[in-house]
Chain A
Amino acid sequence: MMWEKCGSSSAQADFLSTADKADTSSQYLLGLKDSVLRPGGCTQTAVWSCWEDNLLDVSNVQISCHLCGGI
């Protein structure tokens, strides 16, 4: 299973502008599972034929862990 993780970036027209530096817009992390490499998965026939755009909002997911803060 192949995951691609992505992060959003500036929404400003100029990357290196003053407005870019002061931009406090919310940012997003995305994880996309690639369906092309999966056995029996999507076959690429066009640029848009294998979108992974069925996104699930996991903003409210709680995570649990052990060894947190102890590493």
Chain B
Amino acid sequence: MADFNGDGNTTDLNDTRYFYSAYVVLDITDPDATPTVLGVYSASDLGLTTSYPTVARMNLSSDGNTTHTNSKWFMVFGSGVHGYDGRAAATAQLFAVELRASLGTAPTVTEDAGRLVEFVSWPIRSRWIKISISDPTQSMWDGQSILPPAGSGIGRARCIGSRWVSARAAPCSTSTWGIASGADRVPTEMLDTFTIERRLGISRPYDIESNGHLR
């Protein structure tokens, strides 16, 4: 709450504002030209996310890798905390925004809705591998962090790692990601808890080629 219109009080309708993270898409194709804003996405359930957006191209496995007939591009990121104490006020979510000429309304993929209500995906890092034109994305992983209920102290945070695997089947959309859970599509877990209880941060996954090189 602040005196945004400078009239000496903070009682006006627009004096109470809520701030969320936002993602801005810029066209920087021509390095000599002024960047052009292609779109902005923000939502109240994004919270104060610090998730790095990850760009992924999805394509049907039945199509050629370089065929663009059915392929789509997505920008994927996770939700963040809802307060400055690092706590969450809502279930964490994974957002997949289809990158088109107009961003439009973002298709939202809900993570574990209703199963674990007191967790937050901060820090969540969605990293998709194989984002090149000739190698469509098939999977991604993220980290989730579960907060203990308020006042419970330490020791109830748990670790979760999860994966999303695309069926790469029609339609080329988020409706084929993960597995079905009611009306939602949810990831499968890689690791729930291990010996100790800590929040888990997920780093970038990597691939080991047949020659032993990382990529």
Contact = CB atoms under 8 A, between A and B. Distances in A.
Given A44-B179, A47-B179, A55-B194, A8 B188 contact: no
B63 interface: no
Interface in B184-205: 186-192, 194, 196-205
A11 B154 contact: yes
Q: Quick one: which of A6, A47, A49, A50 has the most chain B CB within 10 A?
A: A6
A4 B197 contact: no
B138 interface: yes
Contacts of B161: 4, 6, 32, 52
Contact of A6 (B84, B122, B200): B200
Q: Quick one: which of B123, B157, B163, B201 has the most chain A CB within 10 A?
A: B163
A65 interface: no
A30 B205 contact: no
Interface stretch (B2-10, B28-36, B98-106, B142-150): B142-150
A58 interface: no
12 contacts: A2-B207, A3-B206, A3-B208, A4-B163, A5-B206, A6-B143, A9-B200, A15-B85, A28-B196, A30-B194, A37-B165, A50-B163
Main secondary structure of the interface of A (DSSP, over half): loop
A13 B153 contact: yes
* Category for how many chain B residues contact A: 35 or more
Interface in A31-67: 32, 34, 36-37, 44-53, 55
A27 B198 CA distance: 8
Interface of B: 81, 84-87, 112, 115, 122-123, 129, 138-139, 141, 143, 145, 147-148, 150, 152-155, 157, 159, 161, 163, 165, 178-179, 181, 186-192, 194, 196-208
A24 interface: no
A16 interface: yes
Nearest to B149: A13
A36 B162 CA distance: 12
Interface of A: 1-17, 19-20, 25-28, 30, 32, 34, 36-37, 44-53, 55
Given A3-B205, A13-B152, A37-B138, 14 more contacts: A2-B139, A3-B208, A4-B205, A5-B203, A6-B161, A6-B203, A8-B159, A8-B201, A9-B123, A9-B198, A11-B157, A47-B179, A48-B192, A52-B191
Contacts of B163: 4, 34, 36, 50
